[in-house]
């Protein structure tokens, strides 16, 4: 009996080790279609490999969500303080600089990091060193470009001397940022998100802490420049200490060609995204007064908090996880549906709460009254984020399974619509036309669901309809009571509690069994 017990235990250990080997090294040979030869590793080993991916993805997502939730709270508090002390014009200058740097970021990467994560086989030392070297070269090109832009008359007149120093600080942060790339890729491929988020914690604490200290001590807008440099140094050092690698400078032609095949398409996609976002917002920053662009920047920045807290965090986990599951359709289907379910369950009530309570918050705290002209833009941006919360994970899925040509077509469409619709709507609605256009375009975000279903038979509406109904019920209660919530801090707190209860009760009434089943499945 004991011999049989130990034999079974040894067999389970062998299967588990085989599964880990499939996940960590992916050493099994591939067929012409690109699928692992499952007969060589056995069904049990494959099941162990999938279970390993699931376990690391779930624990990673939870850990990542909790820690980045802390970061968001820090950023939320810091932005609340800065909103009280900085003027709309200051926000406008900072917004122009951020968009310029965002556009220049394109030249700091040619999609090599994404290619390393998406690669089916384990990247080699040559792959890592080649990617690092190329990114270092490109990052110093960025430094040169920022110095050039900083000296142009158009930028100097728009941003002033403080804007110039912020731009230079952001440019110098690029070489430091590339130091984090390879350690980040290694951690993402291992799905070790608990370590991956730690440098972000350190960066956020240092950045927001130093920024608030300097602003409160009268340094004004130049505070961003000092805070950016401090953040970059802390991030590079902490990431290198957490995940060392065989550092080296080299460019291997074969490695570069292999990575560039996927990376080039990924970078074209990124380039279109930057034309749609950064380049367009640079255009807005140049044609609009700083004050009006400040309203847009403030509204856009606040509307992104729910997205960053939920969608962006989950995407940091799902892209490497989905890449590992691209040969397992059923497992990928379940993973996509769970991502949609939990993302929408978390973000929908936050978006509704922001839209309903932003005006009462300003009524209760008069120090923010200067931002009242930006409220309509904030609400429209926020509601548009709801569609992005659904489309982004699905577009991310297409990239993870190698269907980046489809996302390229979608990005061409979104970029064209942004450049065509926004100027027309600005003619009728002024600077608020930017948010109106973004809200209208957001409805096209359902298209990725159509394309994903061609490759993975997901139940799209089944994953989100309960959250949608609960959010609508929450919105109705919040809207009808909006005149009450702004009477005092007490009324504001009671209103927030009431609409939260409405969402939870409605969700449980129509989706209790589904919620319980989904939570249990995470175990």
Check if the beta carbon of residue 173 is closer than 8 Å to that of residue 231: yes
* CA–CA gap between residue 129 and residue 251 (Å, rounded): 7
28: CB partners within 8 A, 6+ apart:
22, 36, 37, 40, 41
Domain parsing of the chain, residue ranges:
1-65, 86-287, 288-523
* CA–CA gap between residue 44 and residue 38 (Å, rounded): 10
CA angle 491/297/203 to nearest 5° reads 90
* CA–CA gap between residue 18 and residue 21 (Å, rounded): 5
Q: Which two tokens stand for residue 338?
A: 């769970």
Q: Which two tokens stand for residue 297?
A: 């920047």
Q: Mean pLDDT, consecutive 10-residue segments, the chain of 523 residues? A: 39 40 40 42 57 60 65 75 81 75 57 66 81 84 84 80 85 84 81 74 85 84 87 88 83 69 57 70 84 90 83 69 73 84 90 93 91 94 88 83 82 88 92 94 88 88 92 94 91 94 95 85 68
The stretches of 25-109 forming alpha helices (DSSP H) are: 38-41, 43-85, 88-104
DSSP codes joined into one string, 45-64: HHHHHHHHHHHHHHHHHHHH
Report how many helices (DSSP H) and strands (DSSP E) the chain contains, helices first.
23, 0
The stretches of 217-312 forming alpha helices (DSSP H) are: 223-242, 253-274, 280-287, 290-307
Q: At what angle do helices 404-429 and 447-455 cross, to 10 degrees?
A: 170
pLDDT digits 0-9 by tens, 345-364: 989 999 999 999 999 999 99
Check if the beta carbon of residue 277 is closer than 8 Å to that of residue 417: no
Nearest CA-CA partner of 431 in 295, 282, 280: 295
* CA–CA gap between residue 263 and residue 416 (Å, rounded): 23
6 CB neighbour count, 10 Å cutoff: 10
**pLDDT given for residue 42 in this prediction:** 55
245: CB partners within 8 A, 6+ apart:
128, 182, 183, 186
In order of 88, 295, 369, 480, the CA distances from 373 in angstroms are 10, 7, 9, 22
**pLDDT given for residue 1 in this prediction:** 39
Question: φ and ψ at 244, to 5 degrees?
Answer: -65, 155
Q: Which two tokens stand for residue 517?
A: 């089943």
Nearest CA-CA partner of 57 in 315, 312, 309, 348: 315
**pLDDT given for residue 248 in this prediction:** 81
Check if the beta carbon of residue 214 is closer than 8 Å to that of residue 270: no
What percentage of the chain exceeds 70 in pLDDT? Answer: 75
pLDDT digits 0-9 by tens, 265-304: 555 666 666 666 777 887 888 888 888 989 998 999 888 8
**pLDDT given for residue 430 in this prediction:** 92
Residue 128: its H or E element? helix 125-150
* CA–CA gap between residue 363 and residue 491 (Å, rounded): 11
**pLDDT given for residue 2 in this prediction:** 35
> Phi-psi category of 331—alpha, beta or left, where left has phi over 0 and alpha has psi -120 to 50?
alpha
**pLDDT given for residue 29 in this prediction:** 39
Q: Which two tokens stand for residue 265?
A: 């398409």
Question: φ and ψ at 457, to 5 degrees?
Answer: -75, 65
pTM, two decimals, is 0.69
**pLDDT given for residue 267 in this prediction:** 57
Altogether, the residues listed in the chain come to a count of 523
């Amino acid at each position: 009996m004991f011999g049989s017990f130990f034999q079974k235990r040894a067999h389970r250990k062998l299967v588990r080790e085989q599964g880990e080997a499939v996940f960590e090294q992916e050493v099994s040979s591939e067929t012409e279609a690109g699928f692992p030869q499952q007969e060589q590793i056995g069904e049990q080993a494959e099941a162990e490999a999938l279970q390993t991916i699931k376990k690391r993805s779930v624990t990673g997502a939870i850990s990542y969500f909790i820690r980045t939730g802390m970061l968001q709270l820090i950023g939320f508090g810091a932005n609340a303080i800065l909103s009280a002390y900085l003027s709309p014009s200051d926000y406008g200058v900072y917004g122009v600089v951020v968009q310029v740097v965002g556009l220049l970021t394109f030249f700091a990467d040619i999609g090599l990091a994404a290619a390393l994560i998406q690669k089916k086989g384990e990247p080699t030392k040559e792959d890592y060193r080649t990617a690092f070297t190329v990114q270092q070269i490109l990052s110093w090109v960025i430094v040169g470009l920022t110095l050039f832009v900083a000296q142009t008359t158009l930028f100097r007149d728009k941003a002033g001397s403080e804007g110039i120093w912020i731009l230079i600080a952001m440019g110098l942060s690029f070489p430091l940022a590339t130091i984090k790339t390879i350690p980040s890729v290694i951690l993402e491929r291992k799905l070790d998100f608990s370590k991956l988020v730690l440098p972000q914690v350190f960066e956020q604490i240092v950045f927001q802490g130093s920024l608030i200290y300097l602003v409160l001590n009268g340094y004004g807008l130049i505070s961003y420049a000092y805070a950016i440099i401090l953040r970059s140094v802390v991030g590079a050092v902490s990431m290198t200490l957490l995940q060392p690698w065989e550092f080296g400078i080299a460019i291997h032609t074969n490695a570069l060609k292999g990575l560039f095949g996927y990376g080039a398409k990924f970078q074209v996609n990124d380039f279109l995204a930057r034309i749609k976002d950064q380049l367009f917002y640079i255009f807005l920053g140049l044609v609009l007064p700083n004050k009006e662009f400040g309203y847009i920047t403030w509204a856009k920045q606040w509307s992104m908090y729910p997205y960053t807290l939920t969608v962006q965090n989950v995407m940091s986990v799902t892209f490497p996880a989905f890449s590992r599951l691209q040969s397992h359709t059923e497992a990928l289907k379940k993973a996509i549906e769970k991502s949609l379910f939990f993302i929408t369950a978390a973000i929908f009530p936050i978006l509704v709460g922001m839209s309903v309570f932003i005006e009462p918050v300003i009524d209760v705290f008069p120090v923010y009254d200067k931002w009242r002209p930006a409220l309509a833009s904030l609400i429209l941006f926020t509601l548009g984020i709801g569609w992005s919360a659904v489309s982004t994970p699905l577009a991310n899925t297409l990239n993870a399974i190698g269907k980046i040509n489809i996302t390229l077509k979608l990005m061409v469409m979104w970029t064209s619509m942004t450049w065509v619709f926004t100027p027309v709507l600005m003619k009728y609605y002024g600077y608020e036309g930017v948010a109106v256009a973004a809200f209208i375009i957001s409805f096209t975000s359902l298209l990725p669901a159509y394309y994903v279903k061609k490759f993975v038979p997901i139940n799209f509406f089944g994953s989100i309809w309960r959250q949608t109904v609960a959010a609508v019920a929450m919105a109705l209660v919040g809207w009808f009571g909006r005149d009450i919530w702004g009477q005092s801090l007490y009324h504001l707190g009671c209103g927030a509690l009431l609409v939260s209860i409405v969402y939870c009760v409605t969700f449980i009434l129509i989706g209790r069994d589904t919620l319980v089943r989904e939570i249990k499945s995470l175990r």
